[in-house]
């Protein structure tokens, strides 16, 4: 009996945080995973972990906002792992500031990574999905899409990703490709730890306040987000598309 090659997934921003959690989970689910982030070396510990657990993974260094780099990275994944039929657009940065103090560079960098990055990655990967007549794209939005003080840039980008998701779902559906979004609330990562440090609050206190503001009285972990992504990319979720699922423990409005 010949064994079928595993389906190939690309996860952007996968060297740490939510992206690393998603990469680990998709490897457990049986995907060969391209662990993509700005610095290839930073991806290697996640790749090593996946391999140690018996999975298949590849470290890929790529700035998702750079058109040539994206084209080359997706092609490399296709050559070295196989045609990518799952894409998780997770790469993201924050440059929080009040509107009157927000620099044009802080606006542009956030738009470039989240929106331009997701556009370039999706455009490069979709051809493998439409050829295979099967594909899954999951975009990482955020509860910040609904508005968050100090995040005009990030909120606009995360809301933009929801429109992007629904439009790709309409365009790609007939090729067997679903496109959905996961919108995390407060997740314990280096990003939220850095925010706590920046605003001068101990991370434990910051997490406590965030947990209090939810119905489930806890903060989220990368695994919580990975679980939702795992559902969206699963074989059985082929009739679920254009959706945004908030994985946030129901925060107070």
Smallest gap from Cβ 167 to ligand CAA, in A, equals 22
Does residue 154 have an active-site annotation?
yes
Task: Please give the Cα distance from 247 to 240 (Å, whole number).
Answer: 16
Nearest residue (CB) to ligand CAA, 159 versus 237: 159
Task: Please give the Cα distance from 7 to 150 (Å, whole number).
Answer: 40
Burial of 212 per CB tally in 10 Å (0-12, 13-18, 19+): exposed
Instruction: Say whether residue 142 binds ligand CAA (CB under 6 A).
Output: yes
Q: Which backbone phi and psi does 30 adopt, to 5 degrees?
A: 105, 5
Binding string to ligand CAA for residues 54 to 93, with x set by CB under 6 A, is what?
----------------------------------------
E strand spans, the chain: 8-12, 32-37, 57-61, 84-89, 135-140, 177-184, 244-247
Instruction: Say whether residue 151 binds ligand CAA (CB under 6 A).
Output: yes
Instruction: Say whether residue 94 binds ligand CAA (CB under 6 A).
Output: yes
Q: Which of 128, 154, 206, 232 is catalytic?
A: 154
Q: Which residue is nearest to ligand CAA (CB)?
A: 150
Strand partners, 220: 187
Instruction: Say whether residue 154 binds ligand CAA (CB under 6 A).
Output: yes
CA 135 to chain centre: 16
Smallest gap from Cβ 248 to ligand CAA, in A, equals 8
10 Å Cβ neighbour count for 43?
A: 27
- Of 187, 177, 199, 170, the closest CA to residue 228 belongs to 187
Binding string to ligand CAA for residues 180 to 219, with x set by CB under 6 A, is what?
----x-x----xx--x---x--------------------
For ligand CAA, the binding residue among 143, 165, 219, 230 (CB under 6 A) is 143
Instruction: Say whether residue 150 binds ligand CAA (CB under 6 A).
Output: yes
| 216 CB-near residues (< 8 Å, 6+ apart) | 249, 250
Q: Which residues bind ligand CAA (CB under 6 A)?
A: 94, 96-100, 142-144, 148-151, 154, 184, 186, 191-192, 195, 199
Catalytic amino acids? Answer: 154
């Amino acid at each position: 009996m010949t064994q079928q090659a595993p389906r190939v997934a690309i996860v952007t921003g996968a060297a740490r945080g939510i992206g690393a959690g998603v990469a680990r989970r998709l490897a457990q689910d049986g995907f060969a995973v391209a662990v993509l982030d700005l610095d290839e070396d930073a991806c290697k510990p996640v790749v090593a972990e996946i391999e140690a657990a018996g999975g298949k993974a590849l470290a890929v260094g790529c700035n998702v906002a750079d058109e040539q780099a994206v084209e080359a990275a997706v092609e490399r994944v296709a050559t070295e792992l196989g045609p990518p039929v799952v894409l998780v657009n997770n790469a993201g940065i924050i440059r929080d500031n009040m509107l009157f103090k927000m620099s044009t560079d802080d606006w542009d960098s956030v738009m470039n990574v989240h929106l331009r990055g997701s556009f370039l990655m999706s455009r490069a990967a979709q051809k493998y999905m439409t050829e295979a007549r099967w594909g899954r794209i999951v975009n990482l939005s955020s509860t910040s899409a609904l508005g968050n003080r100090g995040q005009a840039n990030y909120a606009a980008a995360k809301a933009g990703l929801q429109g992007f998701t629904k439009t790709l779902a309409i365009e790609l559906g007939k090729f067997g490709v679903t496109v959905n979004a996961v919108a995390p609330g407060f997740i314990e990562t280096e990003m939220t730890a850095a925010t706590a440090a920046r605003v001068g609050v101990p991370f434990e206190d910051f997490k406590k306040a965030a947990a209090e503001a939810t119905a489930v009285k806890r903060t989220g972990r990368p695994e919580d987000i990975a679980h939702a992504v795992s559902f969206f990319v699963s074989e059985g979720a082929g009739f679920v598309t254009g959706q945004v699922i908030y994985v946030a423990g129901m925060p107070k409005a």
